[in-house]
Structure 1
Amino acid sequence: MAGTARYKQIVDELATAIRAGDLAAGTRLSTHRELARTHKVAVATATRVYTELAAMGLVSGETGRGTYVRDQQGFHGIDADRALPVARVADLSFNQPHTGEHIENLRQALRNLAGSGDLESVLYQHPPAGRSRDRAIVATHLLDRGIDVAPDHVLLTHGAQHGITTVLSAITRPGDIIAADDLTYPGLLLAARTQHLDIAPVPHTTTGPDLSALEALCSSRPVRAMYTQPTIHNPLGWTLDADTRRQLAGIATRHDCLIIEDATYAFLDDTAAPPLQHYAPDRTIYLASLSKSLATGLRFGYLVTPQPLRDALISSLRVATWGTNPLVTALATTWIADGTLTELEKTRRADARTRQHLAHTALNTLDYTAHPAAYFGWLTLPPPLRADTTASHLAHAGVLISTADTFTTTPHPPHALRLALATTALDDLPEVLKHIHHTITTLPT
């Protein structure tokens, strides 16, 4: 009891000092042995102290560097505070492409819908997977993506995040293992956490996942599924070549793993190799949405499923929301069928390349990497800068960004930032990027 009380006392002392600001963000704390010696406790007790402080979000342990006090102002991580202490200048934490060019399209589509003979259909509930007519329109659209399936293999969703949650609910049980890149889409992490799944991190190279590490993981553990973004990976920006896609599909086949292929940003790279669904159609669930190509408020997406998984996925859709919004579905499928989506995607691709060029120009002296057509980029901070304190400095200047711990599947995220480029007005973006460059290059070290 005395040992337990002493351990709690040390935790409380350090937590109070951190919250009061007596131990500033970025302070390197004593080593485990030093802490044990100072407080006359065992090294195991000191380790327990730091483990609890880390679970409280107060410190972070970094391999080879030590234990550091985390910034407590809340502008980093997966649940970062979006309420800034000053007037907002720019939000580079979330991609919300501008929709000004869509307004007239929306007006005209609503007029056409109001004058159509099918208006009453938007007042009725649609089937959980969507009406056959709407699924057929999406199936035809997917031919240009390299996917040739019957409409029965297409299921409609409320967007990619809904698709991810639906898939995990349908194909997994608590405790199942999902392989994912060591830096990946945070929506997967949130969904996996909610469903009590084990995310097994796969190390990455400069061009994609480390396939030998993935092979070893699948050989040593019962991986249920692999989550992957082969075209314009979020946040790292890679697009896998055809040979890498074949190898990844081969690993899944050898180890009887399912593949969850997220193609949310794939429309931005129209030169990419065929989707993984092309190489492993019997074990790949392909998902995408129109949130980045049309508008984030248009919650419409789709799944492409192998036939054996169709019933389970439909059951999952029925439990969650029953069916997609009929009015949104009518708008989305109309724009797909009449070619509006194709034209808007061309506009988005040109816009993304322009913004990416501005980012490379403004950040050219920093370690910034990105796909030339991506709406985001990855900025590795120069040592000894820390992601949490850098994010706090930027927030106090009115700029929101995302830190690497938002995307990490490992205990020790790198000190890096993801910059989302689509939300800020194009004319304002160069000045915002210049400010980020200035902040990073002038922060005290």
Structure 2
Amino acid sequence: MSNSKFRDIADVIEKRIVNGDYPPNTKLPTHRILADELSTTPVTVAKAYKLLADKGQLESFVGRGTFVCGHSELNQAIQAPKDEENTYNFSLLQPCLYKNVPSLQQAYRQTAEQLTPALIGYVEDSGHESHRLSGVAWAKKYGLKGGHSGNTLLTNGAQHALSLLIETLSKPGDTIAVESLTYPGILAIASLSGRSVVGIEMDHHGACPNALENVIKSHKPTLVVLVPSHQNPTGISMPESRKRAIADVINRHKTWLVEDDIYCFLDEQPIEPIANFAPDFTFHISALSKALSPAMRCGYIKVPDNKVDLLNAHIRANIWLSSPMNYAVATVLIESGEAFRIAEAQRVTAAERQILARNTLASLNGSVSSGYHIWLPLPQQWQPERFAMEAKNRGIIVTSGSYFVTNGGTSNHVRLSLMAISSEKRLESGLQALNELMSLDVKALFPY
């Protein structure tokens, strides 16, 4: 046998990965089974697996086997601005930052003037008690009950909170249940950490309780992750009755629920979160990135009492603690009430921009969600990937609906953020350009 035989076997495996025969997080055949299939020896297969592991394509776990490494398309789905003057960026879900700068400048100056050694030193329990109490006040304003300094933990934003909870509550190879259309950041965490994902069917009120029940019975997910308010990407907000029905399923099956509630401040009137109805099984996430600034990285998790020590241990092992400086600024803003004023101003701006979009985009047919973004249906002639590509060629960045789909489904939509573009005049210009693009004859534009 040639000494390079294992390289030939590695090439075969690599082609299967590229072709989708071995999708991300798939468990590969044992050395013996693949050796028999490819007419070689288990030792040769083991060498091929090691070669691909060294290249970052495979990962082995003692007692569990070898898996295809996960991947993330998050950088394609959400693109930071590079040329704001010549580009309309509809991919970033963030507040209109120019409106928030004066308040943030003042709060950072105030915090710097009051800086003490105690503030910038190490501290236990994920952060200072005063900062955790500010998180309690923030979430309470928007309907969360039962939060206190002992069960509220600090993270480096909501994305870190999601990653932390998935890592803590599940293990590689486990299944996580999410909405059938969901935030790509959740899919990226699951893929890169070796978790499988199963989608929960949705209707006009969000994830369906019966569908959740069926998923739990059929797939036995270790945890469920839901975005109940101004859901990304659909924009759906669950009414209280739906949240109670979801909580009933969670309570009966005693399944962990991660409630990603970072858009709750966009509700005109607070709607109680699912955590209020299933407090023993729900990890409630709130954060300031969508209301104040993504750069602040202030996330709060209300944790069931019996998991506080475990989450604190993971936070300490992972990052020790989130930046007290950012939380000191957040505390200044929350205690003064300025954070809530900023959040309300952003909610009003979002509502105004939703009306602008409804009046500009013909395909909305007068029906839009509230919140920061729109789940825009495309004319039948367009496919979302081709539309996103052609829009980018014209200086317009949108997010293809394909990045949000679970269970191998499809969606002929693109997601549009209405807030990252600084002025209403420029936003309207970008929306008009999108409207023109949607009306074009695709066959004439792409005759091949």
**Pairing 1:399–2:396 present:** yes
Q: 1:86 to 1:303 in 2, by over 3 A?
A: closer
Correspondence for 1:333:
331
* Distance in 1 of aligned mates of 2:118 and 2:22: 53
Correspondence for 2:212:
214
Give the drift of 1:173: 1.1
* Distance in 2 of aligned mates of 1:302 and 1:86: 31
The 8 Å contact of residues 91 and 399 in structure 2, kept in 1 or not, is answered as yes
Counterpart of 2:91 in structure 1: which amino acid?
S
Q: 1:251 to 1:430 in 2, by over 3 A?
A: same
**Counterparts of residues 260-271 of structure 1 (less than 5 Å):** 260-271=258-269
Correspondence for 2:406:
409
**Pairing 1:249–2:247 present:** yes
* Distance in 2 of aligned mates of 1:106 and 1:120: 22
What secondary structure is seen at the aligned counterpart in 1 of 2:140?
helix
Please identify, of 265-274 and 434-443, the stretch whose mean Cα deviation from structure 2 is larger. 265-274
Give the drift of 1:271: 2.1
Correspondence for 1:100:
98
Counterpart of 1:418 in structure 2: which amino acid?
R
Correspondence for 2:346:
348
Correspondence for 1:239:
237
**Pairing 1:80–2:106 present:** no
Please identify, of 432-441 and 208-217, the stretch whose mean Cα deviation from structure 2 is larger. 208-217
**Pairing 1:137–2:134 present:** yes
The 8 Å contact of residues 236 and 370 in structure 1, kept in 2 or not, is answered as no
Please identify, of 122-131 and 91-100, the stretch whose mean Cα deviation from structure 2 is larger. 122-131
Correspondence for 2:150:
152
**Pairing 1:418–2:415 present:** yes
Give the drift of 1:127: 2.9
* Distance in 2 of aligned mates of 1:214 and 1:132: 36
**Counterparts of residues 145-184 of structure 1 (less than 5 Å):** 145-146=142-143, 147-184=145-182
List per-residue Cα deviations over 1:77-124 (Å, max 9, x = no partner).
6442858899742110112322223333233223322433x5333431
* Distance in 2 of aligned mates of 1:306 and 1:439: 49
The 8 Å contact of residues 86 and 398 in structure 1, kept in 2 or not, is answered as no
Percent identity for Structure 1 against Structure 2: 25
Give the drift of 1:148: 2.7
CA RMSD of superposed structures (Å): 2.7
The 8 Å contact of residues 179 and 225 in structure 1, kept in 2 or not, is answered as yes
The 8 Å contact of residues 182 and 202 in structure 1, kept in 2 or not, is answered as yes
Q: 1:175 to 1:53 in 2, by over 3 A?
A: closer
* Distance in 2 of aligned mates of 1:338 and 1:348: 18
Q: 1:126 to 1:388 in 2, by over 3 A?
A: same
Correspondence for 2:278:
280
Please identify, of 348-357 and 422-431, the stretch whose mean Cα deviation from structure 2 is larger. 422-431
In the alignment of these two chains, the number of paired residues is: 382
Q: 1:402 to 1:258 in 2, by over 3 A?
A: same
Give the drift of 1:316: 1.6
**Counterparts of residues 111-126 of structure 1 (less than 5 Å):** 111-116=109-114, 118-126=115-123
Normalising by the residue count of structure 1, what TM-score does the alignment of the two structures yield?
0.80
The 8 Å contact of residues 385 and 402 in structure 2, kept in 1 or not, is answered as no
Match of 1:383 among 380, 385, 390: 380
List per-residue Cα deviations over 1:214-247 (Å, max 9, x = no partner).
2111122222211111111111011111111111
Correspondence for 1:292:
290
Gaps of 5+ in 1: 13-47, 57-75
What secondary structure is seen at the aligned counterpart in 1 of 2:375?
strand
What secondary structure is seen at the aligned counterpart in 2 of 1:239?
coil
Give the drift of 1:210: 2.5
* Distance in 1 of aligned mates of 2:276 and 2:105: 37
* Distance in 1 of aligned mates of 2:300 and 2:17: 46
The 8 Å contact of residues 294 and 341 in structure 1, kept in 2 or not, is answered as yes
Correspondence for 2:31:
none
Match of 2:355 among 349, 357, 367: 357
Counterpart of 1:408 in structure 2: which amino acid?
V
Correspondence for 1:39:
none
List per-residue Cα deviations over 1:307-338 (Å, max 9, x = no partner).
11111111221122110112111101111111
Give the drift of 1:140: 2.8
List per-residue Cα deviations over 1:341-389 (Å, max 9, x = no partner).
01001100110001111111111334685422x1001112222311111
Counterpart of 2:182 in structure 1: which amino acid?
T
Correspondence for 1:199:
197
The 8 Å contact of residues 362 and 433 in structure 1, kept in 2 or not, is answered as yes
Correspondence for 1:309:
307
Counterpart of 2:152 in structure 1: which amino acid?
V
Gaps of 5+ in 2: 1-7, 25-71, 444-448
Q: 1:49 to 1:120 in 2, by over 3 A?
A: closer
Match of 2:124 among 111, 115, 127: 127
Counterpart of 2:392 in structure 1: which amino acid?
A
RCO higher in structure (CA 8 A, sep ≥6): 1
* Distance in 1 of aligned mates of 2:331 and 2:224: 30
* Distance in 1 of aligned mates of 2:218 and 2:212: 10
What secondary structure is seen at the aligned counterpart in 2 of 1:428?
helix
* Distance in 1 of aligned mates of 2:360 and 2:383: 21
Give the drift of 1:206: 2.3
* Distance in 2 of aligned mates of 1:309 and 1:86: 44
List per-residue Cα deviations over 1:264-323 (Å, max 9, x = no partner).
111111324200011111110000210110011111111000011111111221122110
Give the drift of 1:212: 1.7
What secondary structure is seen at the aligned counterpart in 2 of 1:223?
coil
What secondary structure is seen at the aligned counterpart in 1 of 2:202?
coil
Counterpart of 1:126 in structure 2: which amino acid?
V
Match of 1:437 among 411, 427, 435: 435
**Pairing 1:186–2:184 present:** yes
Give the drift of 1:208: 1.2
* Distance in 2 of aligned mates of 1:235 and 1:160: 16
Correspondence for 2:33:
none
